[in-house]
Amino acid sequence: MIDWTAIKDLHANKKLEEVIGKWFGVDIFYTDKHGNVHSNIFDKDHEFVNHFFKVQLHMPHGKDFLAEDIQTGLEKVKNADGQCFYFDSYFPHVRMLASKIVVDGEFQGAVFAYPYVTDQATTAEVQEIVDKMVSCGATEVDASSACDHLKKLAVHEFEYLRELIGLVAQEISTVTDEVSKRESRIHDLNAQLGNKYRYHNIIGKSKAMQSVYHLLTKVSNSEATILIQGENGTGKEMVAKAIHYNSPRKDAVFLAVNCSAFNDNLLDSELFGHVKGAFTGAIKDKKGFFEAANGGTLFLDEIGDMTLAMQVKLLRVLQEGTFLPVGATQARKVNVRVVAATNKPLKEMIQKGEFREDLYYRINVINVALPALRERREDIPVLMDHFLDKKCAEMGYTLKTWAKKTLEKMIDFKWPGNVRQLQNEVERLVVLAGDDKTITPDLLSSVITDAVDGPAKVGNLKGINTNGGLKAALEELEAYMIKEGLKRCNYNKSRLSKELGISRAGLIMKVDKYGLDKRNKAANE
């Protein structure tokens, strides 16, 4: 139930562990309720905070002693009234502190802090520890140096440590709780899917999309003209195709023409064709889209961009089924179903005299309003899986999976109206993941990470990498403050040095060190 790998990387905990290590000289590790250790303490090159711990794990049976202590700790802390329990480890006077992890009211494991002694420990007692280690196979030198590193904690220090370890354990519980709630939400959503999550190639199982499908089923069989309205990238063209391929005309052609892509004259000739000699360059008769789509469906995209003159011609063909190719004298007749789309507010355009009211009523016999993605957030996971499937197949990869964090961030991102943006992000992630089977959150584009986590900010330290120790973290913070400061002060170094309370020369040195000079401005943005 607990994702231990994710827990290990938990930012807040890393920070706490670092501080605890520095102040109290203890190592921290986690175990599940069975005593399996989920920290890196057994890694070959693990850097221990406390040398004693290292010596112990390298001596014969050192790990067994630890395992015994872990069992004792788990048993005790599980039944303890409080959050924490401390006890003498296998080595007399050397203490171990355990803090329980409880998720959903169930005991799941513990956070351990080890090793330390109290400030009451006498020289004789420390000698006792050395002797015990030697009797267990450590060399005299190792045992003494190990014990030299044991920190003697005063009562108030110990109290503080106990509180902090409690915090680490509670953070694990809270995070796990949250993740499992989200997972069950996703699970519920997926469970409701059934067959109804798609119509033709249109994906979405939200209520809003269900009613779109319902409408489409009803109108596909009719011959009515349809107007599809929706923001950019909401799937207008997909809907137009779905209407065609579910209609009796499905075996005839589906043609799409983007009305905004041509000027008036060209659009005229594209839509209605021209006869030989109609204008310079018209060296032979050319069929227009209306004629080419005869018997099928013509999709007029971006109809809001058509000029008033063209609107008149269009109205005529819609009303009478006849049209006049450019330069022709005789009208031609066609049987075409028109589906139009726009992202423009046609009604407002009518008020302003930019769109003909009669044409509006003629094309808007049936109106399909496509909801923006932000109005149907429950479709995000389904769409993500759909695009993932498609892209993996296209690239010849076996199906990849979403890391929990990636999924969460994508779901939490406030996608605007655009499904295309979501699709692009998924496709980008598949490419970036390469041969990796899991799509990890570090691959997400910064638009998403920044929007969900907030960009690195002074004050909240989010986004500052604390892996490399305090020095690296401080340098990162310093570089960040200077970078932001330079932008704020318009690269006026005297002003910024005053603001930051350092000398101008000092600032210049740091600007050099971090490569934040004005010359690199573009790269720093």
Ligand X SMILES: Nc1ncnc2c1ncn2[C@@H]1O[C@H](COP(=O)(O)OP(=O)(O)OP(=O)(O)O)[C@@H](O)[C@H]1O
Residue ranges in contact with ligand X by CB under 6 A = 202-204, 230, 232-238, 343, 419-420, 423
Residue 117 interacting partner from Mg ion, ligand X, none (CB closer than 5 to 8 Å by kind): none
Residues 6+ apart with CB under 8 A from 439: 388, 400, 401, 402, 403, 406, 429, 430, 433
Closest by CA position to 480, among listed 465, 470, 498, 490:
465
How many angstroms separate the CA atoms of 476 and 219, rounded? 59
Min dist. Cβ of residue 16 to ligand X (A): 43
Residue 187 interacting partner from Mg ion, ligand X, none (CB closer than 5 to 8 Å by kind): none
* DSSP string for 132-143: HHHHTT--HHHH
User: 82 and 143 in contact (C-beta within 8 Å)?
Assistant: no
Q: Which is nearer to ligand X, 214 or 457 (CB)?
A: 214
Cis peptide leading into residue 60 (ω within 30°): no
Q: Which is nearer to Mg ion, 50 or 343 (CB)?
A: 343
Q: Which is nearer to ligand X, 255 or 278 (CB)?
A: 255
How many angstroms separate the CA atoms of 102 and 172, rounded? 9
| Contact window for Mg ion (CB under 5 A) among 166-174, 236-244, 457-465, 474-482 | 236-244
How many angstroms separate the CA atoms of 450 and 81, rounded? 41
How many angstroms separate the CA atoms of 457 and 224, rounded? 55
Which one-letter amino acid corresponds to residue 301? D
Q: Which is nearer to ligand X, 233 or 288 (CB)?
A: 233
How many angstroms separate the CA atoms of 296 and 279, rounded? 29
Q: Which is nearer to ligand X, 180 or 210 (CB)?
A: 210
How many angstroms separate the CA atoms of 77 and 66, rounded? 16
Which parts of 289-318 interact with Mg ion (CB under 5 A)? none
Min dist. Cβ of residue 302 to ligand X (A): 7
Residues 6+ apart with CB under 8 A from 390: none
Contacts 24+ apart (CB under 8 A), 433-438: 433/400, 435/397, 436/400, 437/398, 437/400, 437/401, 438/400, 438/401, 438/402, 438/403
Q: Which is nearer to ligand X, 237 or 412 (CB)?
A: 237
Calculate the dihedral angle through the C-alpha atoms of 336, 339, 345, 346, rounding to the nearest 10 degrees: 20
Closest by CA position to 180, among listed 106, 111, 103, 107:
103
Q: Which is nearer to Mg ion, 219 or 341 (CB)?
A: 341
Q: Which is nearer to ligand X, 203 or 448 (CB)?
A: 203
Min dist. Cβ of residue 393 to ligand X (A): 14
| Contact window for Mg ion (CB under 5 A) among 124-132, 230-238, 272-280, 508-516 | 230-238
Min dist. Cβ of residue 326 to Mg ion (A): 26
Min dist. Cβ of residue 370 to Mg ion (A): 11
Min dist. Cβ of residue 240 to ligand X (A): 8
Min dist. Cβ of residue 317 to ligand X (A): 23
Query: Which residue among 18, 237, 291, 412 contacts Mg ion (CB under 5 A)?
Result: 237
Q: Which is nearer to ligand X, 203 or 443 (CB)?
A: 203
Residue 419 interacting partner from ligand X, Mg ion, none (CB closer than 5 to 8 Å by kind): ligand X
Q: Which residues pair with 103 in a beta bridge?
A: 106
Residue 424 interacting partner from ligand X, Mg ion, none (CB closer than 5 to 8 Å by kind): none
| Contact window for Mg ion (CB under 5 A) among 2-10, 233-241, 287-295, 329-337 | 233-241
Q: Which is nearer to ligand X, 54 or 236 (CB)?
A: 236
Does 183 bind Mg ion (CB under 5 A)? Our answer is no
Min dist. Cβ of residue 196 to ligand X (A): 13
Residue 170 interacting partner from ligand X, Mg ion, none (CB closer than 5 to 8 Å by kind): none
How many angstroms separate the CA atoms of 495 and 485, rounded? 9
Residue 435 DSSP code: T
Min dist. Cβ of residue 422 to Mg ion (A): 16
Min dist. Cβ of residue 238 to ligand X (A): 4
Contact footprint for Mg ion (CB under 5 A): 236-237
